Amino acid sequence: MNWLAGTLGSSIGKKLMMALTGLGFCGFLAGHLAGNLTIYWGKNAFNSYAEHLHSLGPLITLAELGLLFFALIHILTGTTLFYQNLKARPFRYSVNKNAGGRTIGSRTMPYTGFILLSFIVLHLINFHFVDKTGTTIYQIVHGAFANPGYVAIYVFAMIVAAIHISHGFWSVFQTLGANHVKYMPFIKGVSIVFSLIVALGFGFLPVYLAYMV
Amino acid sequence: MTKTINLTLKIWRQKGPEAKGKLETYKANDIPTDMSFLEMIDVVNEKLTLEGKEPVAFDHDCREGICGMCGTVVNGRPHGSEKGTTLCQLHMRHFSDNDTIVIEPWRSRAFPIIKDLVVDRSALDKIIQAGGFISVNTGNAQDANAIPIPQETAELAMDAAACIGCGACVAACPNASAMLFLSAKVSQLALLPQGKPEAARRAVSMVREMDRLGFGNCSNETECEAECPKEISITNIARLNREFYKAGFFSSEK
Amino acid sequence: MQLDAKIPGGPLAGKWDRYRFELKLVSPANKRKFKIIVVGTGLAGGSASASLAELGYNVKTFCIQDSPRRAHSIAAQGGINAAKNYTNEGDSIWRLFYDTVKGGDFRAREANVYRLAQVSNNIIDQCVAQGIPFARDYGGLLANRSFGGSQVQRTFYARGQTGQQLLLGAYSALMRQVGAGKVEMFPRREMLDIVVINGQARGIVVRNLITGKIETHASDAVVLCTGGYGNVFFLSTNAMSSNVTAAFRAYKKGACFANPCFTQIHPTCIPVHGSYQSKLTLMSESLRNDGRVWVPKNPGDKRFPRQIPESERDYYLENKYPSFGNLVPRDVASRNSKEQCDMGKGVGETGLAVYLDFEDAIKRHGRDVIEKKYGNLFQMYEKITAQNPYETPMMIYPAVHYAMGGLWVDYNLMSSIDGLFVLGEANFSDHGANRLGASALMQGLADGYFVLPYTIGGYLAGTSLEKITAGHPAFRESVEIVNNSIEKLLSINGKRTVDDFHRQLGHIMWDYCGMSRNDEGLKKGRKLIQQLGEEFWENVLVPGSDKDFNQSLERAGRVADFLEFAELLIIDALARKESCGAHFNEAYQTKENEAMRDDKNFCHVSAWEFAGKNKEPVFHKEELKFENVELSQRSYK
Ligand SMILES: Cc1cc2nc3c(=O)[nH]c(=O)nc-3n(C[C@H](O)[C@H](O)[C@H](O)COP(=O)(O)OP(=O)(O)OC[C@H]3O[C@@H](n4cnc5c(N)ncnc54)[C@H](O)[C@@H]3O)c2cc1C
Ligand code: HEM
Ligand code: FES
């Protein structure tokens, strides 16, 4: 296993883990969003989507464990990278400027990441680890968004997610070595579009539930 | 006749590696705008010397943008704000009268400060020692035209080989990473047929050495590419990543 | 002292092969018992260090810069010659040999030059194998271009950065040996003395430029690859740290200095503009392949170049030398620029410049083609001058560029001190009185890759070497000399900075010992230099301490040596009562103002031996015998 630890433990290996897990999350987000959109078809559609999910039984547990595993890797590696990168420049510049390479997304990756982590914990407490006997998932969600505070937190979190992804998505390709002058502009475009979809798709849900139904 | 300008300089002064440094303020008056940035520092140094003070230590040699010896951070930008330009090729016509210019050394854990604006970049040599070569002893070579290399490939290799090893990429990277430098060498040699036999070993040992030397990790901020005086592209980093995965997962390299 | 060039006998073409066979060998197992010091990491030093280590010798390598990759060779732009004849134009080893001897105005050794031409092909093979991305044609084979003074295309190039690529090749070979533990690398060290014991070079004394510590290193042989002395003129195309110190200190220890007056002035540099200027930038000679050199016909014509009609332009090179036109050798091109400017036809603010015009080339080939060929040079020009050469002609003027002179060496590249070898620009060997374009890179790599590794073996195998360490009293003596001079420099505490002296020295040299010389001027120059030297030791101001990173102190030591060396250069110029190549004495010229050699009296190498401070150096003559080429008046008409 030495070679595996050596490869994954290197700076590029860590990036690879970030990219693969990050890409996994992007995939999860896409699926999650597709599911959540059923809300627009009304509460029955949404509830039956949830039931259908749960009927998958061990499969869904497996997926959850997979996500957890990915999350652990993404978070632990991300934290290590953040710490190592801070240490690599012990003495900072007194004037900081950039040459146009950095974006809001790239600049804030670790911070948006930690915000997302807090959000995910809150999100799971809200909707996952709740007592679901005698109620439907739609009711839980609808109930939660009666509180304008929650709406604000969710909208904010989705903007943060979009920012994280706006850099993260194209960055995955670069990290995996898929940077070609012909395709990179397109990938960067997809990055922006995808993060907008996440922000609008997820972000509008709480607003819709709170004020429009 | 040429225009002249007056400037306020804030220059990092530090006696030695262990000493504490600080920004000191100097005036540079009547600087002709067709002077180069380093010549401007020369003028300041001549003045300091005559005043009985110690001149500012700074590295430089060829003064034509090829040796990679010069380089300081000027107003937050390595080699100043002109694109594709080393500090020695930066001319004062890009500044205006009464500007304040803050001049700092490259800052990175892997580049300890020697004095004032001079840093120790031997870490870059160590990265090359780890594998930035083709193992061909003198006399081993076959005829130069024995292996045709597509012009496009040769040009791509040359794009990467143009690196002058100044360290601006490290200075510019928010994480003080040396990935652009390393990737330029790995790319040049991986593109050419002559470099293929050792490609796997090269990628693995050079990356490992870079990690050991205390550089940060690449997070695709692309500041390096934007600041590189030779405009080396981050497509080289992508190529390095590919080479590294190939070596790590599909070769017998450990 | 008797100079023996040790040129092997027999027919020219077989000399090197036979000689290599006759040389004694050091067996592979014994090589690791020898320690060799290499000073300098340019093409010569880098290639020598790597090749020696590959053979098994223990090598210690030194350079001034923070990394061996930054040696001045990195700046070479145009290309490197080889007799490959890939272009099928009838090139051959013989032709390269002949062109080099003729280009050098018949003041180089036939045997050395022939060997250079012979190994030129191996260099290209080696470099390609190292992964140097030379320019290629669409078919994937190597491309060639023609380069100053040659009528065949034999120059290999990597954009305008050939020197960089070749040096990085040698550097990577060197780094490989450092990694393997066969070379110990000492960057940021300046060699300040050479230690000679029993007539053999046995070590060096260096200053650690970071800590200021004086260090001693012992060895079985010393190889100097410390580059050229062009900076004696202050303004030159050389890097700021290029110096004569290492060579000059070796001279003071008994190594003869040969032909110091042969200094090449390159015709195409960006003109001087201001008194603060610190160095001059070369515009590659390859520009003359497409650019046309001209000045206004009427002196003092201050119109914009594009407003001057064809009929009022003087394309003086094309007119004077119809067959070579703009491609005449460097010395000829430079002298003609000066002549035009002296007639008041110079252009630009200072009147010390001529036009190099691409208008016709752009019309003929289109802007794209020109951009592809010279884009990076045009960009560099624009960066420095803020003028766009696609639209207005470039302004150029000659500048000091290369030292053909250097420490005298025999066929083995060994100086007149046993065990002290000298390679690259630091020796005098192959270029005679004028170097052809793209030949210095070739020579540096030939010396380091393909000549020294053999000849040094012959020396080591055939010499008895006493066991010594750096504790030997000779080292202590050297350290004391070095320390004394450093202390002296720091204690004068005068009123003028080092650069101030250096700049003045440069003016004197340029005015009295530049592109064209006369006895009266040379004598005057010599006197001025002596005065300046005296003032230097009374009035120089060197701040800081010797126990520290101190760039003023570094420069002070170099300028002190330049001041003494400048005198030697002038002495040599005065002694050579002829004009040849880069040495143009106005008293010796043809009716058409071309250099007039005196083969009867001056077909020799002048080698100077140090006789003591303030004493005239001792003159030694190495007669040059031309058995294979006929001495002729160089004509490029
Ligand atoms: C701008 C320019 C363009 C050129 N273009 C071409 C071209 O196109 N084709 C061509 O053939 N030639 C060209 N030349 C000439 C050629 O580049 C040089 O002659 C050649 O590179 C010299 O190589 P070298 O190894 O002898 O010395 P250098 O490369 O000068 O190396 C000298 C080395 O010695 C070290 N050193 C010096 N003094 C000391 C000391 N006291 N102690 C310790 N170390 C010391 C330095 O650190 C350095 O490592 C060009 C030259 C210039 C200036
Ligand atoms: C749904 C949630 C998340 C998604 C979709 C996501 C996605 C991504 C993606 C695609 C990348 C880019 C990988 C690369 O550059 O190759 C990335 C990087 C990163 N993520 Fe996340 N992430 C999420 C959550 C988190 C969390 C909870 C953290 C908290 C620690 C985090 C921290 C980071 C950091 C620090 C990086 C940058 C690593 C680097 O480039 O050095 N992310 N993320
Ligand atoms: S001094 Fe050589 S690159 Fe600037």
The confidence score (pLDDT) of residue C46 equals 98
Contact assessment for residue B164 and residue B121, using Cβ atoms and an 8 Å cutoff: no
Span A169-177, average pLDDT: 98
Q: Matching CATH topology for B4-114 and B121-250?
A: no
Task: Give the pLDDT score at C372.
Answer: 82
**Which pLDDT belongs to residue C251?**
98
Ligand nearest to the CA of C426: 1
> With bands split at pLDDT 50, 70 and 90, how would you rate the model's confidence at C286?
confident
CA–CA dist A180, A187 (Å, integer): 10
> Of C379, C400, C421, which closes a domain?
C400
Among C400, C417, C440, give the residue marking a domain's end. Answer: C400
Pairing assessment for the beta strands C394-403 and B113-115 based on DSSP bridges: unpaired
Which of C51, C70, C125 is nearest residue B61 as measured by Cβ atoms? C70
- H or E element at residue B114: strand B113-115
User: Most B CBs within 10 Å: which of C383, C445, C552, as the mutation test of the B interface?
Assistant: C383
The answer to whether residues C585 and C489 belong to one domain is yes
Residue position matching structure tokens 């002829």:
C578
DSSP state letters, C35-62 = EEEEE--SHHHHHHHHHHHHHT-EEEEE
Whether the pLDDT of residue C147 is over 90: the answer is no
pLDDT at A1: 54
> pLDDT for B25-84, tens place per residue?
999 999 999 999 999 999 999 999 999 999 999 999 999 999 999 999 999 999 999 999
Helix, strand, or coil here: C466? coil
- Touching A: B residues 220-249, CB under 8 Å: 220-227, 234-235, 237-242, 244-245, 248-249
CA of C100 from ligand 3 middle (Å) equals 32
Domain boundaries, chain B: 4-114, 121-250
In the predicted structure, residue A213 carries a pLDDT above the cut 80: no
User: Shortest CB distance from A98 goes to which of B208, B223, B234?
Assistant: B223
Pocket test for ligand 2, best of A8, A17, A25 (most atoms within 8 A of CB): A25
Please give the pLDDT value at position C374.
Answer: 87
Q: Is the CB of A158 under 6 A from ligand 2?
A: no
Could you say which of C374, C400, C426 is where a domain stops?
C400
CATH number for the domain that contains residue C279:
3.90.700.10
Question: At A103, is the pLDDT very low, low, confident or very high (cuts 50, 70, 90)?
Answer: very high
| C370 and C477 share one domain | no
Could you report the per-residue pLDDT of C589-609, keeping only the tens digit for each?
998 888 999 999 999 999 999
From the number of C-beta atoms within 10 Å of its C-beta (0-12, 13-18, 19+), residue A27 rates as: exposed
Instruction: Look at residue C446 and tell me if it is in a domain.
Output: no
Q: How large is the average pLDDT for residues C272-298?
A: 91
Please report which confidence band the pLDDT of residue B187 belongs to, taking 50, 70 and 90 as the band edges.
very high
Q: How far is A81 from chain B (nearest CA, A)?
A: 7
Examine residue C103 and state whether it is found in any structural domain, yes or no. Answer: no
Average pLDDT over residues A120-147: 91
* B235 Rama sector, left if φ>0, alpha if ψ -120 to 50, beta otherwise: alpha
Q: Tell me the pLDDT tens digit for each residue of C75-113.
A: 999 899 999 999 999 999 999 999 999 999 999 999 999
Which residues of B are less than 8 Å from A84 in CB distance? Answer: 216-217
Per 3-state DSSP, chain A is made up of helix, strand and coil in percentages (nearest 5) of: 80, 0, 20
Contact C430, C100 (CB under 8 A): yes
Q: What is the mean pLDDT of residues C134-156?
A: 91
- Residues of chain C with pLDDT > 90, as a percent, come to 91
Q: Average pLDDT, stretch A41-47?
A: 92
Q: How far is CA C117 from CA B144, C404, C442, in A?
A: 16, 17, 9
pLDDT of residue C406: 98
> Quick one: average pLDDT of B203-232?
97
Q: How confident is the model at residue C559 (pLDDT cuts 50, 70, 90)?
A: very high
User: In a 3-state reduction of DSSP, which class is residue A79?
Assistant: helix
Query: Does C433 fall in a domain?
Result: no
The active-site residue, picked from C69, C107, C202, C330, is C330
Mutate to test the interface with C, among B54, B62, B186 (most CBs of C within 10 A): B62
Cβ-based neighbours of C300, under 8 Å, separated by 6 or more: C344
Instruction: Name which residue sits closest to atom 40 of ligand 2, judged by CA.
Output: B219
Rounded to the nearest angstrom, the minimum Cα separation between C451 and chain B is: 11
Q: Could you tell me which CATH class the domain B4-114 is placed in?
A: alpha beta
Q: Structural domain of residue C279, as residue ranges?
A: 267-400
- Known active-site residue C476: no
Which residues, judged by CB distance below 6 Å to any ligand atom, belong to the binding site of ligand 3? B 60-63, 65-70, 86-88
Smallest Cα distance from C590 to chain B, Å: 38
Average pLDDT (C467-475) is 96
Residue C570's pLDDT is what?
Answer: 98
Residue C149 has pLDDT above 70, yes or no: no
Q: Is residue C448 part of a domain?
A: no
**Residue B238 burial (CB count, 10 A):** 22
pLDDT digits (tens, 9 = 90+) for C204-234: 999 999 999 999 999 999 999 999 999 999 9
Q: How far apart are CA C559 and CA C243, in angstroms?
A: 8
Q: Are strands B22-32 and C420-422 parallel, antiparallel or unpaired?
A: unpaired
Walk me through the domains of chain A, giving residue ranges and CATH numbers: 2-90+102-211 (1.20.1300.10)
Ligand nearest the Cα atom of residue C187: 1
The set of chains that have 3 or more CB pairs under 8 A with A is: B
b/e burial code for range C44-74 (CB count within 10 A of at least 16 → b): bbbbbbbbbbbbbbbbbbbbbbbbbbbbbbb
CATH number of B121-250: 1.10.1060.10
**Among all chains, which residue has been given the structure tokens 């090589």?**
C31
CATH number of domain containing C491: 1.20.58.100
Can you say whether residue B209 is alpha, beta or left, with left for phi > 0 and alpha for psi between -120 and 50 degrees? Answer: alpha
Tell me the pLDDT of chain C averaged across its residues: 96
Instruction: Give the strands of the sheet with C618-623, arranged side by side.
Output: C406-407, C257-258, C604-609, C618-623
Distance CA B6, CA B27 (A): 8
At residue B114, what are phi and psi to the nearest 5 degrees?
Answer: -90, -50
Query: In this structure, how many other beta carbons lie within 10 angstroms of the beta carbon of residue B250?
Result: 9
Cross-strand bridge partners of residue C623: C604
Ligand 3 pocket: which of B70, B90, B106 to mutate (most atoms within 8 A of CB)? B70
Instruction: Evaluate if residue A107 carries a pLDDT over 70.
Output: yes
Backbone torsion region of residue C243, taken as left when φ is above 0, otherwise alpha when ψ lies between -120 and 50, otherwise beta: beta
pLDDT above 70: residue B1: no
Both structure tokens of C632: 């002729």
**What span, in angstroms and rounded, lies between the C-alpha atoms of B56 and C282?**
28
Residue-wise pLDDT tens digits, C314-349: 999 999 999 889 988 888 899 999 999 999 999 998
Closest-CA residue, ligand 2 atom 20, reads: A113
Q: What's this model's pTM, rounded to 2 decimal places?
A: 0.97
To the nearest whole Å, the CA of B170 is away from the closest chain C CA by 17
Please give the pLDDT value at position C637. Answer: 75
Residue C635 has pLDDT above 80, yes or no: no
Would you say residue C296 lies in a domain? yes
**In this structure, what DSSP letter does residue B65 have?**
S
Is the Cβ–Cβ distance between C515 and C330 less than 8 Å? no
Round to whole Å and give the CA distance between C62 and C245. 14
| CA distance linking residue C541 with residue C502, whole number of Å | 13
Average pLDDT rounded to a whole number, residues C466-472: 95
Number of domains in chain C: 2
CA dihedral B38, B43, B47, B53 (to 10 degrees): 10
Choose one of C49, C191, C225 to mutate for the ligand 1 pocket test, by most ligand atoms within 8 angstroms of C-beta: C225
Rounded average pLDDT over A58-80: 96
Q: Strand C214-218's sheet: what is its strand order? A: C189-197, C200-208, C214-218
CA–CA gap between residue C335 and residue C584 (Å, rounded): 9
Average pLDDT over every residue of A6-23: 97
Looking at chain C, the whole-number percentage of residues with pLDDT higher than 70 is 100
Distance CA C344, CA C339 (A): 9
Per CB-CB distance under 8 Å, the chain A contacts of B238 are 174, 177-179
The predicted-structure confidence for C232-242, as pLDDT tens digits, reads as follows: 999 999 999 99
Residue C12 in any domain: the answer is: no
Q: Does B208 touch chain A (CB under 8 A)?
A: yes
Nearest-CA neighbor of C582 among C398, C448, C366, C351?
A: C398
The pLDDT of residue B229 = 97
Contact across the interface for B194 and C75, Cβ inside 8 Å: no
- Asked if B4 is an interface residue toward chain C (Cβ–Cβ < 8 A), one would say no
State yes or no: pLDDT of B168 exceeds 70.
yes
